[in-house]
Structure 1
């Protein structure tokens, strides 16, 4: 994935530093690439070192500025190190996208997989809380405000079947978002949630293949537009929330799901 050449002259994030967790692929990588194209110094926070290093290298080869930091968002010390790396390398932290997450569980509530429940909650929910903790501390200390975007899900508006842990965690992300927004407006820090619907990533394609389904088989079930989103479409919504053009929005969640709840 390379930065489109026509975007290299549009740099509304110039001079700012953004952390994107789970940026080794899919939506996270698309956000990191777009933020870099908008002039940001981007910290690629990723538990998969190979994917994270590759994403950072692609941004750098396209003229952007990126730093890979191996990060396990379920571990407080790891998240603290991620934030410190941003401060040390780039001198500040202005935008954060808390995107890292595990895939959905596949059992009904009545047959809850307790081990997988604990894993999902530790990454998809506690991981966001830990990211908020350390990101907010850094932004408060800077005194210049900031924008934090937490990745929620279309399951906030309409739960899917047999994914109770994932759905519960994403509802929790919305609660964290609103709490953090309420507490930190005084610091000029905005905190919002982005709620993407079905998005065609490598993981999505692999999942469909395992189920013996095609993109066309699922397209009509995930929204009224009859197709999956491209990761770049979600990334542009994240960019808008990162910019001063959304300066009066905080404590909100933005659906980017093609009317998933209308299907």
Structure 2
């Protein structure tokens, strides 16, 4: 039997490191157990068909540091959003995408909601924030920024902490920074993080600068991640307008940069465009 790469990761990770210990009952039952244990509750709302859910289960949920922290500090629940009390939880907490992560304190109050797959570092940072809301770096930086005069250096220092901790608020404050100070210096580490989080237009001068700097190609994860961002942003725009030409123009311009990367089984530009075209209504 041939294992997929993701399945292989899951198999190796589970046996090598252990994993977060999840309850599999209802939210009400988990909240009761959380209260009795005097621990916050972590809920992974997933769907069986969700790719990012499977990826997180195979990577972040079996990370040794994440496993140790969550098993020590949380009661954890895996909740299928399409079964049992899942649909009711989806409605009650306004969940419209998988995975969505919910954090409750021991009194049953919702204190955090994170949408989308999280890397181990992000998951650990959010867990620490919930367990120690007063002492973690993000909370301290938030207080410092709130009391500041909101000058450029204040916002930049705040964005740095958010980026260092891969916090879910990074995009919001990166976009605020970019709106106020659009002339980013991509050689500056913090402003480069702002660029990665806030600039989604492949036609912008900053994107051209990034794509045409061959030094950036050496970091394949970042380079491909940004190209994927351009693809997804443009695809959503094209779909909303039901205009294949928008996507076609982007692919023609970006594909040469994609070819610089070591992408296995990369389809030809023509084959990819044919596939994308099939997603649009004639």
TM-score, normalised with respect to structure 2: 0.30
Asked which structure has the greater RCO (Cα within 8 Å, sep 6+), the reply is: 1
TM-score, normalised with respect to structure 1: 0.31
Q: Give the number of the structure whose alpha-carbon radius of gyration is greater.
A: 2
- Which has the larger helix fraction? 2
- Which has the larger strand fraction? 1
